[in-house]
């Protein structure tokens, strides 16, 4: 009986040791996500705005107040933070801009996305374009929906602009 109890105890400890790292990683991801979301909500509040639609990804969050036509963006990675607020009434167009590289893999040319951004062109020709990074291969090895999200946000923004 004691041997069965000892085996059960060792088994339970082994299971806990295996599950614990995944639970810690999941909690950490949720906390990072909440920080990003809280930051764009704080940005909106500072501008007397309310976020109507938002998306959160591992390194950035984006949100829009559709009533006031303001876009909020916050990106945080290990070495820097980037905060952008864009008044959409000042924007002429929004486009997805991709940077690709081509590599040779087993005799075939394969295109790999290095970076994908939303680029905003101002109505004022003297103002520089604004780029919001959705994916950068330096930050993340593989996209987690950011590529599709940039296309969706471009459509939403262009509908709002026109």
Residue 28 pLDDT: 64
Q: What is the largest CA-CA distance in the chain?
A: 83
pTM: 0.79
How would you list the strands of the sheet with 130-136, edge to edge? 91-105, 108-122, 130-136
Could you tell me the residue ranges of all domains in the chain? 2-161
pLDDT digits (tens, 9 = 90+) for 32-91: 778 888 899 999 999 999 999 999 988 899 999 999 999 999 998 777 888 999 999 999
pLDDT digits (tens, 9 = 90+) for 105-151: 777 787 778 899 999 999 998 999 999 999 888 877 677 788 899 99
Whether residue 21 is predicted with pLDDT greater than 90 in this model: the reply is no
Query: 3-state class of 83 per DSSP?
Result: strand
Instruction: Summarize the confidence of residues 14-19 as an average pLDDT.
Output: 73
């Amino acid at each position: 009986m004691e041997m069965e109890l000892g085996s059960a105890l060792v088994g339970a400890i082994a299971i806990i040791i295996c599950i614990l790292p995944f639970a810690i990683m999941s909690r950490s991801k949720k906390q990072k996500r909440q920080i990003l979301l809280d930051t764009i909500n704080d940005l909106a509040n500072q501008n007397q705005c309310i976020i109507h639609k938002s998306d959160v990804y591992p390194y950035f969050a984006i949100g829009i107040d559709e009533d006031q036509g303001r876009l909020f963006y916050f990106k945080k990675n290990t070495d820097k933070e980037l905060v952008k607020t864009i008044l959409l009434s000042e924007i002429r167009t929004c486009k997805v801009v991709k940077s690709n590289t081509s590599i040779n893999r087993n005799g075939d040319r394969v295109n790999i996305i290095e970076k994908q951004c939303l680029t905003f062109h101002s109505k004022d020709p003297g103002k520089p374009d604004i780029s919001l990074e959705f994916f950068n291969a330096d930050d993340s090895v593989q996209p987690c929906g950011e590529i599709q999200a940039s296309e969706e946000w471009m459509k939403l923004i262009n509908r709002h602009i026109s």
